[in-house]
Amino acid sequence: MDRKEIAAREAVKYVEDGMVVGLGSGSTATIAIKLIGQKISEEGIDIVGIPTSTASDLLGRAVGIRIGELDEHREVDITIDGADEVDPRLNLVKGLGGALVWEKIVAASTRVEMIVVDDTKMVEFLCQKAPLPVEIVRYSHKTTARRLEVLDCEATLRLDSDGNAFVTDNGNHIVDCRFDGIDDPRSMESEINAIPGVVENGLFIGLASKVIVASNDGIRIFERAMLEL
């Protein structure tokens, strides 16, 4: 069993009958969605799944999860999602899969945002390894990218497998911004979102409640509540 599956299996233990569950996007979240479907089948529990992308919507339905709309629920009990980077304060970089806008909307409505990763995603500071995805509108996207580069990064339009500009579920583009680390992620999140043409960025600050990290030595669980003591 690989580390992603180990982390996902630990997270799915927290899913209980009657919950509203956010269905994350990406490779680790895909494993979790399949495991939730298996749990529904084997234990007969009933949950409502709130997808964070078209892909998680389709997969959730395929494995037998009852899919709902976020607008129908005041609060999501738990969301299980992945991350591209996690810093010591449990702040995140997300969006390499392209679903960051829906992911952030659902995370902001979630009581327990549970992040599942392997130990390669743990970093000393955000953007240590990964670029920061920023979703932007198509109109004048080169102008928006130039404005992002004023923040001291290299902004590259993301392409799909055919070499065309990647298009999100919202019909927008993504620019991947390569920083030499981000010292103040909360301020950077605000600065990026203030740029005309930016829809949202992949800095998830203060949203993760619990991070489950799988390594060759086993599982470690980090909780935001413990960091705030």
100-134: per-residue pLDDT in tens? 999 999 999 999 999 999 999 999 999 999 999 99
DSSP state for residue 98 in the 8-state scheme:
S
Contacts of 216 (CB under 8 A, 6+ apart): 3
Ramachandran quadrant class, 203 (left: phi over 0; alpha: psi -120 to 50; beta: rest)? beta
* Contact yes or no for 160/168 (Cβ under 8 A): no
User: In this structure, are residues 179 and 152 in contact, taking their beta carbons and an 8 Å threshold?
Assistant: yes
Please state the rounded mean pLDDT for residues 59-83: 97
Radius of gyration for the chain, computed over Cα atoms and rounded to the nearest angstrom: 17
Amino acid at 195: I
From 211, 169, 220, select the one nearest 85 (Cα to Cα).
211
Closest C-alpha among 124, 227, 229 to residue 185: 124
pLDDT at 33 over 60: yes
Residue 26's pLDDT is 93
Q: Which residue has the tokens 């927008």?
A: 172
Q: Identify whether the C-beta of residue 132 lies closer than 8 Å to the C-beta of residue 227.
A: no
Q: Hey, which residues are catalytic here?
A: 103
Average pLDDT over residues 151-166: 97
pLDDT tens string 7-27: 999 999 999 999 999 999 999
Distance from C-alpha of 222 to C-alpha of 204, rounded to nearest angstrom? 16
Tell me the mean pLDDT in the region 23-44.
97
Checking if the pLDDT of 229 tops 60, the result is no
Span 3-123+205-219 CATH architecture:
3-Layer(aba) Sandwich (3.40)
Q: Does residue 43 come out as left (phi exceeding 0), alpha (psi in the -120 to 50 range) or beta?
A: alpha
Listed by start position, the domains of the chain span: 3-123+205-219, 132-199
d(CA 173, CA 134) in angstroms, rounded, equals 8
Average pLDDT rounded to a whole number, residues 40-50: 97
User: What's the pTM value of the predicted model, to 2 decimals?
Assistant: 0.95
Taking residues 73-79, report their average pLDDT.
Answer: 96
pLDDT on residue 228: 64
> Which class is 132-199 in CATH?
alpha beta
CB contact at 8 A, 132 and 93: yes
| C-beta neighbour count of 138 within 10 angstroms | 12
pLDDT at residue 225, as a whole number: 73
pLDDT by residue (tens digit) across 178-222? 999 999 999 999 999 999 999 999 999 999 999 999 999 899 999
